[in-house]
Amino acid sequence: MLWTPGGRSSDLEDRRSGGGMGRGLGLGGTVVVLALSLITGRNLFSDLGVQPAISSGSSSAMSAADSAQEEPEVQFVSFVLDDVQNTWAKILADQNVQFSRARLVLFRNSTESGCGPAQSAMGPFYCPVDQRVYIDLGFYDELKTKYGAAGDFAQAYVLAHELGHHIQHLTGTDARVRQAEEQNPDQANQYSVRLELQADCYAGIWASKSEQRNELSPGDIDEALAAAAAVGDDRIQKRETGSVNVDRFTHGSAAQRTEWFKRGYQGGSMTSCNTFGS
């Protein structure tokens, strides 16, 4: 992918060294604010612009050498973060949908999210409660070595997919899906798959817009497709258990994930991504 190194996004939170959490509270202050939040029924942490104290748990401080080694990757994901969000700000404006920016949290081993503990083993995820994407950069090494999906655009695809969930949150799609899951719990996995495939399709839309801006290098789309296939439910199940159980799919098969990324890439619009009507 063609990009210019140098700089970090203002939407990036770097917690790899235990910092980047914003204004924090001590344990005593956390207890007081939590009690008041329960009494008033409001999230006073958000109102006050502070963060609760969290246990360091298994988190480990990042050395200066490790931090310097990862800096090029940090700057790359910063670029992708801004590029994806700037793209969607324009798309949603045309749809008369108000856009608000998500934040990207980089952490090491573990941290806290609005959706509960975030751990490296969970892989990248989006939390709609605090509108943040959580990534341990070590996942990108695993994407290459364990899943066989190398290349910077494979990494970009992962982040674009997670930000696709942010678009679903802004448009109310995720809320409608959660309601449908509650009404039809036996179909919860099917709803989850359709939600994930739409996020893949949204990543494809961003790739299409990136190509129009001449940001792509030869082979970038192939890298994204390889990454989408590598994290298909069937391939993960086959590698981990030796068999495939379609009823336990949550993200879609390798074929489905690549197909919906291509639909977004080739169609270039949200109308190309109706996974719920297909």
227 lies in the same domain as 99: yes
Q: What is the pLDDT of residues 153-200, one digit of tens each?
A: 999 999 999 999 999 999 999 999 999 999 999 999 999 999 999 999
Query: Considering the domain boundaries, does residue 1 fall inside one?
Result: no
Question: Cα(197)–Cα(228) distance, rounded to whole angstroms?
Answer: 10
Do 38 and 127 sit in the same domain of this protein? no
Report strand pairing: 116-119 vs 110-113: antiparallel
CA torsion angle 31 32 33 38 (round to 10): 80
Residue 42 has pLDDT above 60, yes or no: no
Domain with 183 in it: 12-18+64-273
For the cut 50, the answer to whether the pLDDT of residue 58 exceeds it is no
Q: Are residues 132 and 233 in the same domain?
A: yes
Residue 51 is given by DSSP the state B
Any domain includes 4: no
State pTM to two decimals: 0.83
Tokens for 83, please give them.
Answer: 């590029």
Whether 153 and 91 share a structural domain = yes
Q: Taking a C-beta distance cutoff of 8 angstroms, is the pair 264, 202 a contact?
A: yes
Does 92 share its domain with 179? Answer: yes
